[in-house]
Amino acid sequence: MTLNKKIELAQAIQSNIGNHVASLWPGFSPVPFILYDAENQVAVGSSWPERYRREQDGIWIAEGTDPVLMGNTSIMYHGNCVAIWDTRTWEEPDVPRATSCLAHEMFHAFQNLHMELPYANELLMPSYPHSPKSVALALEEGNLFTKMMTMHVSTEEICACLTTIALLRKLRKKEIGAEYMEYDEHMEGIEGTAAYIEIMMPS
């Protein structure tokens, strides 16, 4: 992605996020972010290190990359919690999709700063006991959560969905074990809420 394209995309993301995130979660507000690749970085916000030059209001440019910029996530960067995104992971990003992705990562920053969430034991990931049954149960749960978040459903329908989810979860706990169920639940607290922000971000 060219530098000019990154700048245009960063401006659009900044505008869209600024208009919408406050309505998605109490207290949630935008944090600085960086769009980067091996050639350059476009940073949005203020208080960037000296190697960044001010391009225009709120937009800063740095040549090259930085070893601490890895993946798409939120990190502490020179004293600030920021969201970062590697533009090489997008083939042809459209503004709504890019905005949703950055809102997701910004919410991780919000979680780190304002929410006391238990973190999952990542050492369990390589030995996670996937099975056809556990995957099918998890997919069924996911469909019910999506229905509750994105469709017009009544209070009665929501209660019915939650009852079914509780039953599915008991079955999944028997299938994978209590330790891995706890891992899933901790991951849901972190990634699930960020995924909610991503899904609910207006296009």
Instruction: Look at the chain and report how many structural domains it folds into.
Output: 2
| Domain housing 58 | 3-114
Q: 100 and 138: one domain?
A: no
- Can you tell me the distance from the alpha carbon of 60 to that of 114, in angstroms, rounded to the nearest whole number? 27
- Can you tell me the distance from the alpha carbon of 90 to that of 101, in angstroms, rounded to the nearest whole number? 11
Q: 91 and 148: one domain?
A: no
Which residue has better confidence, 91 or 84?
A: 84
Q: 187 and 94: one domain?
A: no
Which residue has better confidence, 3 or 118?
A: 3
E-strand ranges in 7-152 read 33-36, 40-44, 53-56, 59-63, 73-77, 80-86
Q: 135 and 176: one domain?
A: yes
Q: In the chain, pLDDT over 90 holds for what percent of residues?
A: 55
Q: What pLDDT sits at residue 188? A: 85
| Residue 15: HSE in the Cβ half-sphere, 13 Å Cα cutoff | 10
Q: 108 and 34: one domain?
A: yes
Residue 203 has pLDDT above 80, yes or no: no
Q: 73 and 132: one domain?
A: no
Cα–Cα distance list, 98 to 13, 68, 145, 148 (Å): 7, 21, 23, 24
Answer for the pair 129, 177: CB distance below 8 angstroms, yes or no.
Answer: yes
Q: What pLDDT sits at residue 19? A: 83
| Bridging pattern class, strands 33-36 and 80-86 | parallel
pTM of the predicted model as reported, rounded to 2 decimal places = 0.80
User: For 137-176, how does the pLDDT look when each residue is reduced to its tens digit (9 = 90+)?
Assistant: 999 998 998 888 777 888 899 999 999 999 999 999 999 9
- Can you tell me the distance from the alpha carbon of 121 to that of 139, in angstroms, rounded to the nearest whole number? 22
Q: What pLDDT sits at residue 94? A: 85
- Can you tell me the distance from the alpha carbon of 96 to that of 19, in angstroms, rounded to the nearest whole number? 13
Contacts by residues 68-71 (CB-CB < 8 Å, ≥ 24 positions apart): 69/34, 69/36, 69/41
Q: 58 and 31: one domain?
A: yes
Q: 16 and 106: one domain?
A: yes
Both tokens of 12, joined, read: 């659009």
The residues that bridge with 81 in the sheet, in sequence order, are 76
- Can you tell me the distance from the alpha carbon of 190 to that of 50, in angstroms, rounded to the nearest whole number? 33
Q: 10 and 103: one domain?
A: yes
Q: 63 and 99: one domain?
A: yes
Backbone angles phi, psi at 154, to 5 degrees: -80, 170
Q: 147 and 59: one domain?
A: no
Domain endpoint, select from 114, 140, 169 = 114
User: For 30-70, how does the pLDDT look when each residue is reduced to its tens digit (9 = 90+)?
Assistant: 999 999 999 999 999 987 988 999 988 889 999 998 999 99
Q: What pLDDT sits at residue 43? A: 96
Q: What pLDDT sits at residue 65? A: 86
Q: What pLDDT sits at residue 162? A: 93
Q: 86 and 129: one domain?
A: no
Domain endpoint, select from 55, 84, 114 = 114
User: For 117-136, how does the pLDDT look when each residue is reduced to its tens digit (9 = 90+)?
Assistant: 777 888 888 899 999 999 99
Cα distance from N-terminal residue to C-terminal residue, the chain: 22
